[in-house]
A and B are shown apart, each in its own frame.
Chain A
Amino acid sequence: MSTSSGPKVRWPLLIVGLVVIGGMMALLGGSFGRQVKELSTEMEGKPYRNFTAVDFDGNEVALDAVLASGKPVVLNFWSTWCGPCKLEHDHFQRAAQLNPEVQFYGVLYQDKVPLAKRYLQQKGAAYPTLTDESGAIAITYGVGGVPETFFIDRSGTIIHKENGPMHMGMIAPLLEQLKASTP
């Protein structure tokens, strides 16, 4: 059992230890207030993706055709069980009424059509809402919750994606951008 006496101060241990501790403190300390939920803005700046869907009246809508006609598009994903969606509903209705040259669409997200219809009857529907039963449209647009809104300009670029509810003050400047865009 031979043990030799080590150095009086274990210098390598001290240096490595201090570096590790320092790094860890900085990492953990700097991570406070970090947003934990993933809110994607990946689709911003990317070209739109075509889909065909059916609105509540049974009409088929193809995004290609809408953009080909020269109109920019606002896609708003919403549900009746989502509080913030209800908060922003009036703002979007008003925005749609004031800006007829922009095509607004609602996309129903993980909700029941009869419930949505009843809600729109009560609260007004200035633009069609599309069904998305399989969730394929939501997935194609990278939607992870509601409300999420996409602003697609005439050239087909998604100029902005908003995670969360919007009010008129946020919507209006974006609409100006959409209207000013060229195919």
Chain B
Amino acid sequence: MKHRLFAVLLGVLTSPAAMAAGPHGDGGDAMFGGGPVSTLGGVLVLLSLLFATVGCGLGFVAGYRRDPQLYRLAQSAAYGFSGAMIAANFLMVYALVSHDFSVRYVAEVGSRATPLYFTIVSLWASLNGSILFWGGILGVYTAGITWHLGNSHREYAPWVLHVQLGIAIFFAFLVASIANPFAPVSPVPLDGPGPNPLLQNHWLMAVHPPMLYLGYVGMSVPFSMICASLLAGRLEAGWMAPVRRWMLIPWAFLSVGIVLGGWWSYAVLGWGGAWAWDPVENASFHPWLTGTAFVHSAMVLERRGRLRDWTLLLGMATFLLTLVGTFMTRSGVFNSVHSFTQSDIGPVFLVFIGITLTYSLLLLTFRAHKLDEAALLTDQRLGAKANKGMSLLSRETAILAQNGLFSAFTFTVLIGTLWPLIVEAVEGRRISVGEPYFDKWALPIGLAIVFMMGAGPMLPWGRQDADKVMKRAIGPAVFGLVVVGVFAGFGFTGPISLLTLFVVGFTFWSNANEIFEPARRRMASHKEGAGTALRKVLLRGRRRFGGHVAHYGVLMAVFALALSKGYRIEQDFPVEKGQTVQFQGFDVRFDGAEMRSDKDETGREYRTALVSTFELSKNGSSMGVREPRMNFYKTQREPIYTPDVYSRPWGDLYFSIISVPGDGNSAVLRLIWQPFQVWMWLCAPMIALGTLIALWPERRRQRSAAPSAEVTNAAPGGAK
């Protein structure tokens, strides 16, 4: 047995090693033979591959044989993989900062002229570095789940490690062979081109990708846990809880990452919009949609024991969609703002996707019946404890409807993104499917979903009388009308936005009810003051309260979207120096444009900028100076147009330069007024807060697998 393992390992190892030696004599692709950083990096990456492979195999055997010793070994291998990958990432950052151009990735994206901040960020600026970063985050999550599981959930844990490390094998393999960022370069160049200027333009580039990666990569954990369940042939309430939590953690990061991406698009790209239904944006949206659906259907699974297959399918689909999304971003098949150059990893990635998809399908198809048997047994022992009887006017229906709508939404966005490919394959035509199409469908489906977000909390589980429901609906409906009235009074009279505002108001009140109603009852029954009652209710029902807070985050985004898009006003102004133009009650005076030099912390200039200065005032009182600019980078002929935004809670005045001919005494300015835009960005901390509340462990319960420190530790950087 041990010999066989060894032989397999040898085989696995020699293949990338052979690739490492490289087909070219010049050592261009070789892993060894370069400088110390290259060599060490290569070793770390190979080590991570080794640990992943060994751990994967150990996990399988440990699960199959229920062998605790092998399980402990698998845990060590998991930590080994994590350690090696994380160390490799730190090593690469070191190489970037120390401008070690003998390392291939540094030669590709490093530059002495780039400020330190962006040098660190360039770890994920380009393809090979971003794959390494993917692996690093995978290492963090693998360590996290290994530690969290510890000695508990013994029936599942080895299987979790098996699947998790199986995924790790793939990424370690990618980094070790095709996408190797540590490969040595010779002769060593003196300087590099620097990362893509678009990535150096704004500090958000340091935050948006890591958040997205923490979301994307993290979906591997609930996936592994679901596969573990199918492999082990059991699924109990005690397992569903950690699966749910480990889905929520990356989900929160993904939500934040998506919103940050929107903010970046708005603040950096100069077109005044946050979401363009770009293929890569859509790729990040699919897993969010299925992940959200999962979180809700899991509630029905826990409560009623039903929708098991469906819930597991959603959970697995979330991870599978992140793989598809990563592929879409990197394969070069799609025309997108995020496109990396086409590379060899595309086909390999596609094979991996095919394998994982088939594996998941087979697991679900052939093992799901085992879960049914286990569940039936549990039912028999517990007796029918939950509510008997079902009404159509129940929370179950609302959640199912929500799931149905989310699935439709996912389907719409996915097929819409793939449609140009499909049509080209079938009919040879080239077409575009863009914003007008997606907006057209996102609106009704989105509205229906938001309505469900309000109707669901209002409905009870199981059975309810229709008139009781109607009574509970009065408050929200009235509040919705009030909101409509208020905004209509302020001039927002478009019918679609009024409908949206009604639904927003309805959902707002309904969710608020769910928070305050139990507190009120408690005040009556326990004779407590308002503050105490509220605190107790919130502390005891963290999951529910966190859910409501997250709902409010989504509401903010929908509110901002409806009003900023529906009432957006845009106008182009050719202006001369000293000239003032009027727009939406503001006075904007052009004060000329001049070239400025931007220097990094060592005093070296890394870009020049043509900055146009505008004095903003209203009714004679000055509101500051706005400076939209055109940033010129050495490596790019075309400048990047960076807007400047005057932001207030009730609206943004967006300054974007169209052109500045010649001498800087005239310019063409685009002004855009977008009401309530900032509320969209506030959605991110709200959702993060909601998730944090929902995940915060309860102190009193004897939980087998969640001491309080674990959750915060397992969520690196905290869900903020």
Contact = CB atoms under 8 A, between A and B. Distances in A.
Contacts of A37: 335
B444 interface: no
B333 A31 contact: yes
A13 B376 contact: no
Contacts of A11: 365
Interface in B278-299: none
Given A25-B354, A27-B421, A81-B637, A6 B361 contact: no
B281 to A, nearest CB: 16
B637 to A, nearest CB: 7
Interface string A62-73: 000000000000
Contacts of A5: 369, 372-373, 376
A7 interface: yes
B365 A9 contact: yes
A10 B309 contact: yes
Contact of B421 (A1, A10, A13, A31): A31
B331 A32 contact: yes
A3 B306 contact: yes
Contact of A1 (B346, B347, B368, B384): B384
Contact of B425 (A25, A31, A33): A31
Given A2-B379, A10-B368, A36 B422 contact: no
- The DSSP consensus for interface residues of chain B is helix
Interface string B297-335: 000000011101100000000000000100100011111
A18 B309 CA distance: 17
B424 A13 contact: no
Interface in A21-49: 21, 24-34, 36-38
Nearest to A7: B369
B350 A34 contact: no
21 contacts: A1-B379, A1-B384, A2-B379, A3-B305, A3-B375, A4-B372, A6-B309, A6-B368, A6-B372, A9-B366, A10-B309, A13-B309, A17-B357, A18-B361, A21-B354, A21-B357, A27-B422, A28-B353, A29-B350, A34-B421, A36-B333
Given A5-B373, A10-B368, A18-B358, 17 more contacts: A1-B304, A1-B385, A3-B372, A5-B369, A7-B369, A10-B364, A14-B365, A18-B361, A21-B358, A28-B327, A30-B425, A31-B425, A33-B342, A36-B334, A37-B335, A38-B430, A81-B637
A24 B366 CA distance: 22
Interface in B408-450: 418, 421-422, 424-425, 430
Contact of B361 (A3, A14, A81): A14
Nearest to A30: B425
Contacts of A32: 331-333, 346-347
Interface residues of B, number: 44
Contacts of A31: 331, 333, 421, 424-425
Nearest to B386: A1
A72 B402 CA distance: 64
Looking at A3, A4, A24, A26, the one whose CB has the most chain B CB atoms below 10 A away is A3
A28 B357 CA distance: 14
Looking at B346, B347, B365, B384, the one whose CB has the most chain A CB atoms below 10 A away is B365
Given A27-B418, A31-B425, A32-B333, A3 B365 contact: no
B382 interface: yes
Contacts of A81: 637
Contacts of B379: 1-3
B364 A13 contact: yes
A4 B369 CA distance: 10
B376 to A, nearest CB: 6
B424 A34 contact: yes
A7 B369 CA distance: 7
Interface in B331-361: 331-335, 339, 342, 346-347, 350, 353-354, 357-358, 361
B364 A28 contact: no
Size category of the A interface is: 20 to 34
Contacts of B386: 1
Contact of B350 (A7, A28, A33): A28
B406 to A, nearest CB: 18
A160 B567 CA distance: 46
Contacts of B353: 25, 28
A2 B425 CA distance: 47
A7 B367 CA distance: 11
A176 to B, nearest CB: 30
A37 B418 CA distance: 16
Contacts of B362: 14
A58 B511 CA distance: 71
B387 to A, nearest CB: 9
B332 A36 contact: yes
B382 A1 contact: yes
Contact of A10 (B342, B365, B385): B365
A14 B327 CA distance: 24
Interface in B494-517: none
A145 to B, nearest CB: 13
Nearest to B426: A27
B87 to A, nearest CB: 34
Contacts of B422: 27
A36 B335 contact: yes
Given A3-B376, A28-B327, A32-B333, A8 B369 contact: yes
Interface string B261-275: 000000000000000
Nearest to A38: B430
A13 B364 CA distance: 9
A153 B528 CA distance: 92
A1 B353 CA distance: 36
Nearest to B414: A24
B365 to A, nearest CB: 4
A6 B308 CA distance: 11
Contacts of A8: 369
A131 to B, nearest CB: 16
A31 B422 CA distance: 9
B305 A34 contact: no
Contacts of A3: 305-306, 308, 372, 375-376, 379
Closest 7 CB pairs of A and B: A17-B361, A5-B372, A14-B365, A36-B335, A1-B305, A31-B333, A21-B357
A2 B373 contact: no
A5 to B, nearest CB: 4
A10 B367 CA distance: 9
A4 B379 CA distance: 10
A21 B361 contact: yes
Contacts of B308: 3
Nearest to B383: A1
Interface in B189-231: none
A14 B358 CA distance: 10
Contacts of A28: 327, 331, 333, 350, 353, 421
A40 to B, nearest CB: 9
Interface in B213-268: none
Looking at A17, A31, A38, the one whose CB has the most chain B CB atoms below 10 A away is A31
A25 B368 CA distance: 25
A7 B347 CA distance: 36
A33 to B, nearest CB: 8
A3 B301 CA distance: 11
A76 to B, nearest CB: 22
Nearest to B336: A36
A162 to B, nearest CB: 18
A9 B369 contact: yes
Given A6-B369, A28-B331, A30-B425, A36 B339 contact: yes
A161 to B, nearest CB: 15
Nearest to B349: A28
Contacts of B339: 36
Contacts of B346: 32
Nearest to A16: B361
